[in-house]
Amino acid sequence: MNKQITNNDSIIYVKNDGVEYIQFKNFKKYEGIISHCFTTRLGGVSTGECSFLNLGFNRKDLRENVEENYSRIAGALNINCSNMVFSNQVHDNKIKSVTEDDRGKGILRESDIIGYDGLITNKKEVALVTFYADCVPVFFFEPERKVIAISHSGWRGTVKEIARETVMKMVNEYGCSASKIEAAIGPSISQCCFEVGDEVYNEFIEKLNWSEKYCSKKSDGKWLINLQGIIRDTLIDAGVPEDNICVSGICTKCNNDVFFSHRGDKGKTGSLAAIMQIN
């Protein structure tokens, strides 16, 4: 296992019931109140480009394999697959409030949750599920109001400040206090590997001019951008205390033996999942 993962002050690497996943240290004090994880590609039954713990039904994988993978990760977390609610991600900044009535959408029945990159709830036993293969997972928990959320923040969602939108929805619709929110920024493609052209760099500078400090230019004219750093500062600016934010600092492309990575696997890959539930 890469030292970047095993010797990380922000995360805990868990092997449980044959599957391997990541949890965040700032959420561990709420164990029993919430369940959460960010999956790896290790421990499932999928084969080929989706080996092994693929959680995307839209990948080149057999449905029965994906269902078995869900059964395994749900068992490890002690939650029910029937509680799960899937996002439908379009690289925007919309957040969907879900309840018990949404359980099973995307996994057991057809979903009407279309065009949302984030999910939020204050209901028990409603498991939020969002999907990744290099984009940034952002987890939220407000312990006083007992509200959870997960947001899928690709570069477009990062520019559109989906992390801020999530905080604002927690505050405005659920009565949360931004100063009490705990947040975690999971593994994603990192600055070392997120190479883009001027068109993407210009989007960041035009919309978030302060983000320039997280952009570095290569000798060939390409740019390297630190999405996790930009999201962290977005959260702080939205009122989340710096000490309440856990940043994994893990690069999915550098560690594509552990994580599915769209760039690392040249587009032939499976899906990771961020999962969170109030118990």
Give the chain's end-to-end CA distance (angstroms, integer): 31
Q: Is the pTM of this model over 0.85?
A: yes
Helix (H) or strand (E) holding 195: strand 195-196
- Please tell me the least confidently modeled range out of 7-21, 93-107, 154-168: 7-21
User: What does the radius of gyration of the chain's CA atoms come to, in whole angstroms?
Assistant: 17
| CATH number assigned to the domain with residue range 6-278, chosen from the 4 options 1.20.5.510, 3.40.50.300, 3.30.1490.20, 3.60.140.10 | 3.60.140.10
List beta partners, residue 35: 277
Q: Where are the beta strands (DSSP E) in 17-167?
A: 19-24, 34-39, 84-86, 95-97, 118-121, 127-132, 136-142, 147-153
Helix (H) or strand (E) holding 246: strand 245-247
pLDDT band at 17 (very low <50, low <70, confident <90, very high): confident
Domain ranges of the chain: 6-278
pLDDT band at 65 (very low <50, low <70, confident <90, very high): very high
Cα-based distances in Å from 111 to 18, 98, 105, 159, 216: 29, 12, 5, 27, 41
For residue range 101-138, what is the model confidence (pLDDT) as tens digits? Answer: 999 999 999 999 999 999 999 999 999 999 999 999 99
pLDDT at 266: 96
- Please tell me the least confidently modeled range out of 5-9, 46-50, 212-216: 5-9
130 SS3 class: strand
For residue range 208-257, what is the model confidence (pLDDT) as tens digits? Answer: 999 999 999 999 999 999 999 999 999 999 999 999 999 999 999 999 99
List beta partners, residue 225: 215
Mean pLDDT (the chain, rounded): 96
Give residue 52's Cα distance to chain centre: 19
Q: How far apart are CA 43 and CA 133, in angstroms?
A: 17
**Confidence check: pLDDT of 1 > 80:** no
pLDDT band at 169 (very low <50, low <70, confident <90, very high): very high
**Confidence check: pLDDT of 3 > 70:** no
pLDDT at 8: 85
pLDDT at 145: 98
% pLDDT > 70, the chain: 98
Q: DSSP string spanning 5-34?
A: HHT-SSEEEEEETTEEEEEEHHHHTTBTTE
